[in-house]
Amino acid sequence: MPAQSTSAVPADATAQSPFTWRFLSPLYLASILNPVNTSLIATALVPIAHGLGIPIGQTAALVTALYLASAVAQPTAGKAAEVFGPRRVLIAGAFALGVGGLIGWIAPDLLTLLISRVLIGLGTSCAYPTAMLLIRKRAREAGMAQPPGGVLGGLQITGVATASLGLPIGGLLVGALGWRSVFFVNLPLALITLVATLIWVEADGPSARRGVREIASRLDLAGIAGFAVAMLALLIFLFELPTAHWWILIASIVLWAGVIGWELRAASPFLDVRLLAARPALTNTYVLFGLVMLCQYIVLYGLTQWVETVRGYGGSSAGLLLLPMTLISGVAIAVISRRNLIRGPVIAAAVISLTGSAGVLLLDAGAWIGLVAVITLLFGAATGFAVAGYQTALYTHAPAEQLGTAAGLLRTFGYIGSIASSAITGMVFHRQVTDHGLHLIAWIMVGISLVLTALTLADRSLRTAPAHTD
């Protein structure tokens, strides 16, 4: 890294305390915004439908829009950060978030709201992969083999464990200020993130002058476009369930085959297929993380619907019941991440997920409501253990020069899990939310958790944590 890029940071500060609160604050704040926005919209869907005079079913597209944008944008932002510099991409993300929040605040129709949600998804997706690169850069400048576990743990607390916070926050905003507030709140948050980044995050090195063709090649724009279209087809198929449009699935498979063929020949591949084949530990990390997130989001969405419909709780009350998931996952991440462990935490995550899934079978209309809090505590712990373990595995097994893209792909697999959870709950609760449907979901979760446990125990790459190399 050129010397110019570190001149903004005093040498004694870097040597004595490389990860100051000033450096970490904009990274953590930016990382909160994506998971919170995924659930923030939930309590606003009905008011949006009434406010715009549209059927409630159409507002589900607002959830889909952010998922689709984020699933594609996370690795894309990582790739762009590797080429142009992470601080530049983080600043661009703050601009996109602010514009998205402003557009949503004044939107006159559903189409404009969809544009807003896409921009919010694009903007918030820049945070995690750029933060991973900035943290890695700071650790290398301080002579560390890898950053302190607490730093990575804080990033995961803000970037994953905060997802359920959107439910109570959204309920409070909608109740006090109306549905437009769930969009407008992103504007001041974007401004704070932008200012903090400009002041406290050191500038990237000088940007090399590149022609359009070289930029397209370095970014692998064709690979990104193919990945986006293939992912879009897959996610549309999942969201349309229980109606199975098999031609969409076939189209997605053909597109994925084309993407793989292109990436095998690309000089600077966006999706490095050879890397994934050569490093099965990294591929396994993605798959296992996706399965954990699948179970977490089934609880987050399926249990919320059951609590509201069968038990008669309001959206804000249901959100508060799920707060233990956020709290305990944050505690688990904070404790585990400091030790940079992999195997123990991910095995614990799989076993606890299996236990919590079995616990859902005990719920019915007459069950003690406190049991819901106990179950969310279990899944919060499972999420915390998994997030801490798999982020350490990612940092360990991903090449340093591709850490941004690799970090974005980890989030993409998490989004695939969340979207699959939405498809599962949509199929089971298609006509009516019942105890029987909840128990069917519980058996599905038990099956997923058994697969997760078996794959985790069989994964030999989790036995060791080789040092991260450049």
Q: Which CATH number describes the domain made up of 275-470?
A: 1.20.1250.20
Tell me the pLDDT band of 269, cut-offs 50, 70 and 90: confident
Mean pLDDT of all residues in the chain?
Answer: 84
What integer pLDDT is reported at residue 466 of this predicted model?
46
3-state secondary structure of 143: coil
Residue ranges covered by each domain of the chain:
11-203, 221-265, 275-470
What pTM, to 2 d.p., does this model score? 0.78
If we measure between CA atoms, which residue out of 130, 180, 137, 186 comes closest to residue 159? 130
What integer pLDDT is reported at residue 174 of this predicted model?
85
* Residue 12 scores a pLDDT above 50: no
Asked whether the domain spanning 275-470 has the same topology as the one spanning 11-203, the reply is yes
In terms of Cβ atoms closer than 10 Å to its own Cβ (0-12, 13-18, 19+), residue 329 is buried
Tell me the pLDDT band of 120, cut-offs 50, 70 and 90: very high
**Average pLDDT of span 450-470:** 72
Share of the chain above pLDDT 70, in %: 92
What integer pLDDT is reported at residue 470 of this predicted model?
43
* Residue 449 scores a pLDDT above 90: yes
- Residues 271-318 have pLDDT tens digits of 888 888 888 888 888 999 999 989 888 887 788 778 878 887 766 676
* Residue 13 scores a pLDDT above 50: no
What integer pLDDT is reported at residue 97 of this predicted model?
96
3-state secondary structure of 145: coil
What integer pLDDT is reported at residue 113 of this predicted model?
95
Q: Which CATH number describes the domain made up of 11-203?
A: 1.20.1250.20
Tell me the pLDDT band of 19, cut-offs 50, 70 and 90: confident
Contact 381, 332 (CB under 8 A): yes
What integer pLDDT is reported at residue 236 of this predicted model?
80
* Residue 268 scores a pLDDT above 90: no
Cα distance between residue 241 and residue 445, in whole Å: 18
Cα distance between residue 368 and residue 258, in whole Å: 52
* Residue 452 scores a pLDDT above 90: yes
* Residue 348 scores a pLDDT above 90: yes
Phi-psi region of 204 (alpha: psi -120 to 50; beta: other; left: phi over 0): beta
Tell me the pLDDT band of 451, cut-offs 50, 70 and 90: very high
More confident residue, 55 or 201: 201
- Residues 318-333 have pLDDT tens digits of 667 777 777 888 888 8
Enter the tokens of residue 153.
Answer: 């743990």
- Residues 125-179 have pLDDT tens digits of 999 899 989 998 888 888 887 788 778 888 878 877 676 677 778 878 888 899 9
